[in-house]
């Protein structure tokens, strides 16, 4: 029989602080989860790039995708919010439809690592979406 041990509030807070530090410190993880362009993840950074091609790499994928539109997140707290939006990318039909962290590269933004997932009806969805929600 497996025994469990209660975790004290002090241990929980201490472990949370260590985790927060590890997630924000590139030297501890070797690579930060916040990309080099993390501070530039605003709607106005991507707005002029709608219609442009990005290179998507990761999870066995390496191909061009097109930023097709930028949507407000629901519920809409502020229309065209700079810190809460979704990027929609058109992808080739012959690519796997699996959500994963992918590197998106554009000459104006450089490489940005984001979690993208297929959206739309059925398994043949031709759009991947990345949600930016920086409250």
φ, ψ dihedrals at 41, nearest 5°: -80, 65
pTM: predicted TM-score of the whole model, two decimal places: 0.69
CB atoms within 10 A of CB 1: 2
Dihedral (CA of 63, 68, 74, 78) sign: positive
pLDDT number for residue 13 = 52
- Beta bridge partners of residue 33, listed in sequence order: none
pLDDT digits (tens, 9 = 90+) for 10-58: 554 544 444 443 344 333 333 333 344 455 799 999 999 999 999 999 8
pLDDT number for residue 40 = 79
Q: Which residue did the predictor score with more confidence, 6 or 51?
A: 51
Q: Which residue did the predictor score with more confidence, 124 or 19?
A: 124
Residue 48 is classified by DSSP as G
Q: What is the mean pLDDT of residues 91-110?
A: 86
Number of H helices, E strands in the chain: 3, 6
d(C-alpha 117, C-alpha 80), whole Å: 22
Mean pLDDT computed over every residue of the chain: 77
Pairing mode of beta strands 53-58, 100-106? antiparallel
pLDDT number for residue 56 = 94
d(C-alpha 114, C-alpha 63), whole Å: 15
């Amino acid at each position: 029989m497996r025994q469990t041990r209660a975790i004290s509030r002090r241990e929980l807070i201490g472990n949370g602080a260590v985790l927060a530090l590890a997630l924000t410190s590139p030297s501890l993880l070797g690579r930060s989860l916040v990309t080099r362009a993390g501070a530039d993840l605003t709607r106005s950074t991507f707005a002029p790039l709608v219609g442009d091609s990005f290179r998507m790499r990761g999870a066995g994928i390496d191909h061009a995708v097109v930023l097709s539109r930028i949507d407000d997140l629901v519920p809409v707290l502020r229309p065209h919010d700079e810190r809460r939006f979704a990027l929609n990318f058109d992808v080739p039909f012959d690519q796997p439809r699996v959500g994963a962290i992918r590197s998106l590269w554009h000459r104006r933004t450089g490489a940005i690592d984001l979690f993208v997932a297929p959206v739309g009806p059925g398994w043949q969805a031709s759009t991947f979406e990345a949600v930016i929600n920086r409250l």
